[in-house]
Chain A
Amino acid sequence: MSSSFNSDARIWRRLQPVVTILLVAGVIGIPLWLVVVTAGKSQGEALNPDLSLPSEWHLWDNLRQVWTEGEVPAAFFGSLLVVVPTVFGVLAFGSLASWVLARRATRLNAVLYALGISGIVLPPAVVTVVLLLRQLGLAGTAIGMIGVYMGIYMSTVIFFVTGFVRTIPESLEEAAQIDGAGPLTVFRKVVLPMLRPVLATATILICLYVWNDVFYAFFVIGGRIDTLPLNLFRVASAGLYLNNWHLIFAYVILMSLPLIAVFAVAQRKIISGITSGAVK
C-alpha cells in the first residue's frame, strides 16, 4: 500500500507543473490576453474582439484617447478623494473602538461588538441611504460617500482589529500607564504601532472594495462626482462607446494599473495579510 502512495506521488509530481502551466494559460492567460490585444487594436479591428494580435499596435494611442476623452484624470481624483479619507477614517475610528471593545469585557461591550460586526454580512440599505443623505444635506457629496463607505466597512475593521488586540499582551500598555500616559497617548504610542500588520490587511481589503465599487457610488454620488468605476460604467453603457472594445479595454488597463502596481510591490505581505486574517 505504501508503495502505491509513493508511485502516485511521483506521477503527480511530474504532472503537476504541466497542469499548472496549462491552467494558468487557459483560465487567466486567455482573458488577460484578450484585454491587452484588444486594447492595442484600432476601432475597426476591435469591433469583434478576438485573440489575434493587432496588425499594428495602437495601445498608446488608445490609452491616450481614453485618458483625455474619457475624463480619466478627473475620475482618478474622484476615486482618490473618496478612497483615501475612507480608509484613514475607518481605520482610525475602528481601531480606537476595537481597542476598548477588546480590553473592557463588559456585557454592554459584548452587545456593542456583535452590533459592530453585523455589517460584515448584512447588506447596506442603498436606497434609503440616499434619502437620509438628502435630509442631512450630504447627497451627492464626497463627505456623504465617505460616510457611507465608512459605515459599510467599519464592521470589517472592528472584526479584524478586535481579534488582533486580544492576542497582544496588556503588559506594554500597563507600563505606559504607570508612567502616567493618558489613554489617547497609550493608544497612539503603544497600541497603534503593534496593530500594524492587521491594519495593513484591513487597508488592502478596504482599498480593494472601495476602489472597485460601482454599486454604492452609483446611488450616492452618481452623476455628481466621477470615480474610475463609475466612469467606466458610464463609458461602457454610453452609445458613443458601444462596441468600442478597444477603448473599454484600454480603460480597464488604466483602471487596474494602480492596484496591480501596489500588489506587485507588496505581493508577499498582501498574501500573508489576507490569509492570516481569515485562517489564523
Chain B
Amino acid sequence: MSTVETTPVLDRPGPPTPSVARAGRRPTGRINRRTHPMWFLGPALAILLVFFFLPTLFNFIYAFTDWSGFKAEINPVGFENFEELAGNGTLWRALRITVVYAVLVAIFQNLFGFALAVLLERDTRLNRIARVFFLIPVLMSALAVGYVFQALLKPEGSLNQLVEAVTGQPFTYAWLGDTTWTIVVVAVIHAWKWMGLSMLIYLAGLKTIPEDIIEAARIDGASRWRTFWRVRSPLLAPAVTFNVATALLGSMNGFDIVQATTGGGPARTTEILNIFIYRTFGQGLFAQATTMSLMLFLLVALMAFPVIYVLRRREAVL
C-alpha cells in the first residue's frame, strides 16, 4: 500500500524494466539463462496451454459443427448454429441480458462498496467489527447466497413480512417473479455478495490519500462535502479501475447467484449466457452451448480492452 501509482489488477501489465538499463551498473549481467532458466516457465505455460488456451481454440472450431449428445460423429456445419441462435432471437437476447446484468452489478457493487468504505473509514473498534461482517458474504458460496435470498424474497417471505409490519398493508410482491425488475433484484444480490471486497479495496484506496492534502483543503475553507468530492474521490481512481473492471467482467461470467435465485426465469428474462450454456449443455445441445461460450469469450474480450483503456485514461487525466 505504498503509493497510489503502483497498482491494481489489470494494471500496467507492461514489460518489466529492461535489464539493458541495469547492465551499466552491473557489467557481469547476472540475470541469464543459467541463473534464471527459461524451462522454469514450462510447467505453468503447459498447464495454461492445455487447460486454458486449447479449449478456447476448440471454441472457435466446435461452434461451427453439429456436435451433440445424440450422435457420435461431429460434422462441420458452417455458420448454422449462429444463424439459428440469431434467427430466433436467443443470441441477442442472451447477450443483451448479460450486458445489462454486468452493468447493473458493476454499478451497485461499486456504490455499495464505496458507501461502506466511506462509512467505515475510521479505525474504530466498531468499524473494524462491521467490516468483518460485510466480508462474510464474500466468503460464502454464491450458491448459498442465492438460496438465502430465494427464501428471503418469496412473495410470502421475510422481506414482504417486514414491509407488511412497517406499512400495515398486505404486501406480496414477487421479487424474483417480475419479468422487468427481477434482473435488477438479482444484480443487487450479486452486488450484496461482493460489496465487502469492493469496500476493502476502496478502504485501502482511501488510506493512500495523505492526511496533509485533506488538511490543506480544510485550511483553504473547503467544506467536508467539497473536500470529499473534489479532493479525495479523484485520488481513488486506481481503486475504481480495479473494482469496476472486476465487477463488470466478473459478472459477465456469473452463474451461481442467478441459477440459485431464478434459474434464468421468469420467462427467461434473467437468462445470462452461462445459464443458457448450462441449460443447453444439459439438453445435449453441445454445439449451441459452444457457440454461446464463444460469444461470451468474444463479448468479454471485446469489452475488456475498452473498459480497461477508458478507466486507465481517466486515471491518467485526474
Inter-chain contacts of B131 with A (CB < 8 A) = 271
Tell whether, in the assembled complex, residue A151 and residue B144 are in contact, meaning their CB atoms are under 8 Å apart. Answer: no
Question: Contacts A112-B45, A215-B278: A120 and B30 contacting too (C-beta < 8 A)?
Answer: no
Closest to A256 in B: B140
A24 contact set on B, CB distance < 8 A: 130, 133-134
Nearest B residue (CB) for A211: B141
Q: Check if A256 sits within 8 Å of B139, measured CB to CB.
A: yes
User: B204 touching A279 by the CB < 8 A rule?
Assistant: yes
Known interface pairs A20-B127, A215-B278; A123-B296 also in contact (CB < 8 Å)? yes
Q: How far is the CB of B310 from chain A (nearest CB, A)?
A: 15
Q: What distance in Å separates the Cβ of A255 from its nearest Cβ neighbour in chain B?
A: 6
Q: Is B179 an interface residue (CB 8 A)?
A: no
Check if A117 sits within 8 Å of B144, measured CB to CB: no
Q: How far is the CB of A39 from chain B (nearest CB, A)?
A: 11
Q: A174 in the interface, Cβ–Cβ < 8 Å?
A: yes
* Chain B residues whose C-beta falls within 8 Å of the C-beta of A121 in the assembled complex: 10, 245, 249, 300-301, 304
Q: Is B119 an interface residue (CB 8 A)?
A: yes
Among the 9-residue stretches B80-88, B150-158, B170-178, the one with 4 or more Cβ atoms under 8 Å from chain A is B150-158
Known A126-B293, A127-B289; contact A31-B148, beta-carbon cutoff 8 A: yes
The reply to whether A96 and B192 form a contact with Cβ atoms under 8 Å apart is no
Q: Which chain A residues border B2 with CB–CB below 8 Å? A: 280
Q: A107 — which chain B residues lie within 8 A by C-beta?
A: 15
For chain A, the bracket of interface size reads 35 or more
Q: What 1/0 mask marks residues of chain A from 9 to 31 whose CB sits below 8 Å from any chain B CB? A: 10010001101110110011111
Which of the 9-residue segments B49-57, B89-97, B103-111 touches chain A? Answer: B49-57
Q: How large is the interface on B (under 10, 10 to 19, 20 to 34, 35 or more residues)?
A: 35 or more
Query: What separation, in Å, do the CA atoms of A35 and B151 have in the docked complex?
Result: 9
- Complex-state Cα separation, A131 to B69, whole angstroms: 11
Q: In the complex, are the beta carbons of A125 and B126 less than 8 A apart? A: no
Residue in B closest to A271 when the chains form the complex, CB atoms:
B200
Contacts known (A151-B48, A151-B50); A279 close to B8, Cβ less than 8 A: yes
Please determine whether B44 and A23 come into contact, CB atoms closer than 8 angstroms. Answer: no
Residues of chain B within 8 A of A166, CB atoms compared: 16
The answer on a CB contact under 8 Å between B31 and A271 is no
CB contacts under 8 Å to B, within A200-236, are 208, 211-212, 214-215, 218-219, 228-229, 232-233, 236
Say if the beta carbon of B183 comes within 8 Å of chain A.
no
Least CB distance from B38 to A in Å reads 7
Evaluate contact between A100 and B37: CB separation under 8 angstroms: yes
Contacts of B138 in A (CB 8 A): 208
Cα separation A50 to B136 with both chains bound (whole Å) = 21
Among B38, B156, B225, residue most surrounded by chain A Cβ atoms (within 10 Å): B38
Interface residue ranges of B193-215 to A (CB < 8 Å): 197, 200-201, 203-205, 208
* Chain A residues with CB under 8 A of B163: none
- Residues from chain A with Cβ under 8 Å of B148 in the complex: 31, 34-35, 249, 252
A128 lies within 8 A of chain B by Cβ? yes
> Given A8-B223, A236-B147, does the pair A278, B154 have CB atoms closer than 8 Å?
no
A241 to chain B, nearest CB (A): 11
Whether, in the assembled complex, A83 has its beta carbon less than 8 Å from a beta carbon of chain B, the answer is no
Contacts of A183 in B (CB 8 A): 34-37, 40
A67-126, CB < 8 A from B: 89, 93-94, 96-97, 99-105, 107, 109-110, 112-117, 119-126
> Are A170 and B31 within 8 A (Cβ)?
yes
B239 on interface, CB distance cutoff 8 Å: yes
Tally of A-B residue pairs with Cβ under 8 A?
Answer: 314
Q: A232 and B144 in contact (CB under 8 A), knowing A123-B253, A263-B139?
A: yes
A125 touching B130 in the complex, CB below 8 Å, given contacts A28-B136, A31-B149, A113-B13 = no
Inter-chain contacts of A4 with B (CB < 8 A): 223-224
Distance A125 CA – B62 CA, assembled complex (angstroms): 11
Tell me whether B141 and A232 are in contact (CB under 8 A): yes
Tell me, in angstroms, the Cα distance from A255 to B219 when the chains sit together. Answer: 53
The answer to whether B274 has its CB under 8 Å from any CB of chain A is yes
- In the complex the two chains form, is A278's CB within 8 Å of B15's CB? no
A150 near B: Cβ within 8 Å?
A: yes
| Beta-carbon contact of A127 and B290 below 8 Å | yes
Query: Does B267 sit at the interface, judged by CB under 8 A?
Result: no
Partner of A154, one of B16, B48, B221, B301: B48
The chain B residues found within 8 Å of chain A, CB to CB, are 1-4, 6-10, 13-19, 30-32, 34-38, 40-41, 43-45, 47-48, 50-56, 58-59, 62, 67, 119-120, 122, 124, 126-127, 130-144, 147-149, 151-152, 154, 156-158, 161-162, 192, 197, 200-201, 203-205, 208, 218-219, 221-225, 227, 238-239, 242, 245, 249, 252-253, 255-256, 260, 274, 277-278, 281, 286, 289-290, 293-294, 296-297, 300-301, 304
Q: List 6 A-B contacts (CB under 8 A).
A: A31-B149, A104-B32, A151-B51, A170-B30, A252-B144, A278-B7
Having A24-B134, A186-B35, one finds 17 other A-B pairs with CB under 8 Å, namely A16-B119, A20-B130, A23-B130, A28-B136, A49-B157, A50-B161, A89-B47, A96-B40, A122-B297, A123-B253, A124-B52, A132-B54, A183-B36, A236-B260, A249-B148, A278-B8, A279-B239
